[in-house]
Amino acid sequence: MNTGKFSTIICLLAFFVINTIILSVTIADEQQSGVGYGRGGRMSGGASSAREDEPIKPISINFDYNRAKVELGKKLFFEPRLSKSGWITCNSCHNLATGGADNLPTSIGHKWFLGPINSPTVLNSKFNLAQFWDGRAKDLKEQAGGPIANPLEMGSNHELAVSILQSIPEYVQWFSEIYGLDEMYGDEIITIDQVTDAIAAFEETLVTPNSNFDNWLNGYDNSISEIEKEGYDLFKEKGCIVCHNGVGVGGNSYQKFGIAKPYDKDTHTLGRYNVTKDEKDKYVFKVPLLRNIELTAPYFHDASTWDLAEAVNIMNEYQLGLKLTDSETSKIVAFLRTLTGDQPSVIFPILPPSTSTTAKPNRN
């Protein structure tokens, strides 16, 4: 055999053996220490279990839902004929293209009426202990029925909205397939309970997992920067975490706005008092979710600021009695931006046409 070829073969064999040994040692080491790789980069061994005790929890991905009901709920979410004018939809105030909110101080309703309060995001709303700022709806299903019949919002009523759906054969078929509609005098009857149930089923799928912070919680160290980590530490040290915790980073409690200092920017909106009529509930509101907060300006129930840094300072002043340095504020804001997750990817539905018996839009 040619000496040059023999030497080349020997070198290649040696290279193969050495790399096999190195690979085997590396795999064994990673298996022992629990090292892995994911969207957020390298995950240090044992980090995931160490962060299970953090007061904020990551969003888990769940595909266990009734797809046909969710698809019907999506159609209804984008259905303008549920409004009296035939123009306003759930998406009008909870725009899925802009963080699940409308980015307005108050929403524009029927006949261009302006609502009395800032519209909260629909994203991750399943994590709220109740719905609306004052918690007057116990769940998403109950909430879904409110705007339809509110004269300042969609301006219709439940009877009219249901009769419009009832006049469209495709809707009758879809409701029948999902709910097994009752027959009355030979007609299959849609109910408002079924309408709100389907809308709620769709809204429950509108979650935003895989934020950089969630990836960090799951052990991927490189998912957030050192500045963002310092911001999270400040968020805990200053006391923000007392109200903003859990999966939604809020939404799981009620708090008075103005604990450390009376909130003088809005003394007219009474919050939960309107539900309970209890004096101690004046100016008490459901704590808002902080996920995707950078997308949902303006902030607070009264939309008193469009600037996230100012919102952080207001919270510290009125809720905690603290004054932050500019550096502390910027670090907390940097942390808050890590809470933006994957936005729902929604294909706009094609809605069935009206019929000759469908009520016409009414802008009056």
pLDDT digits (tens, 9 = 90+) for 35-93: 332 333 333 433 444 599 999 999 998 888 999 999 999 999 999 999 999 999 999 99
Residues 6+ apart with CB under 8 A from 278: none
How many residues are present in the chain?
A: 364
Residue 314 belongs to a domain: yes
Residue 2 belongs to a domain: no
Residue ranges for the known binding site for heme c are 90, 93-94, 110, 240, 243-244, 315
Same domain, 175 and 216: no
Residue 228 belongs to a domain: yes
Residue ranges for the known binding site are 90, 93-94, 110, 240, 243-244, 315
| Per-residue pLDDT, 56 | 98
Same domain, 219 and 329: yes
Residue 262 belongs to a domain: yes
Decide if 188 is catalytic: no
Which tens digit of pLDDT belongs to each residue from 213-243? 999 999 999 999 999 999 999 999 999 999 9
C-alpha–C-alpha distance, residues 23 and 129, integer Å: 50
Residue 23 belongs to a domain: no
Same domain, 264 and 330: yes
CATH number at residue 135: 1.10.760.10
Backbone angles phi, psi at 255, to 5 degrees: -145, 150
Residue 13 belongs to a domain: no
Same domain, 99 and 156: yes
Same domain, 298 and 317: yes
C-alpha–C-alpha distance, residues 57 and 280, integer Å: 31
Instruction: State which of 203, 228, 256 marks the end of a domain.
Output: 203
Write the DSSP symbol of residue 120.
P
Same domain, 218 and 160: no
What's the sign of the alpha-carbon dihedral 258, 262, 264, 270? positive
**Orientation of helix 169-179 relative to helix 67-77, angle to 10°:** 140
| Per-residue pLDDT, 78 | 98
Instruction: State which of 178, 203, 228 marks the end of a domain.
Output: 203
Residue 51 belongs to a domain: no
Total structural domains within the chain: 2
Instruction: State which of 203, 223, 244 marks the end of a domain.
Output: 203
Domain that holds residue 151: 67-203
Average pLDDT across each block of 10 residues of the chain; the chain has 364 residues. List them in order.
Answer: 43 40 37 33 41 96 92 98 98 98 97 96 98 98 98 97 98 95 63 98 98 97 97 98 98 98 95 98 98 98 98 98 98 98 96 98 95
356 burial via Cβ count (<10 Å: 0-12, 13-18, 19+): exposed
Same domain, 71 and 199: yes
C-alpha–C-alpha distance, residues 242 and 254, integer Å: 12
Residue 5 belongs to a domain: no
C-alpha–C-alpha distance, residues 188 and 300, integer Å: 44
The pTM of this model reads 0.85
Same domain, 80 and 198: yes
Same domain, 240 and 149: no
C-alpha–C-alpha distance, residues 364 and 360, integer Å: 12
C-alpha–C-alpha distance, residues 362 and 364, integer Å: 6
Same domain, 180 and 246: no
How far apart, in Å, are the Cα atoms of 3 and each of 8, 9, 294, 351? 9, 10, 68, 77
Residue in 79, 153, 204, 228 annotated catalytic: 153
Please compute, for residue 281, the number of CA atoms within 13 A of its CA located in the half-sphere on the CB side: 16
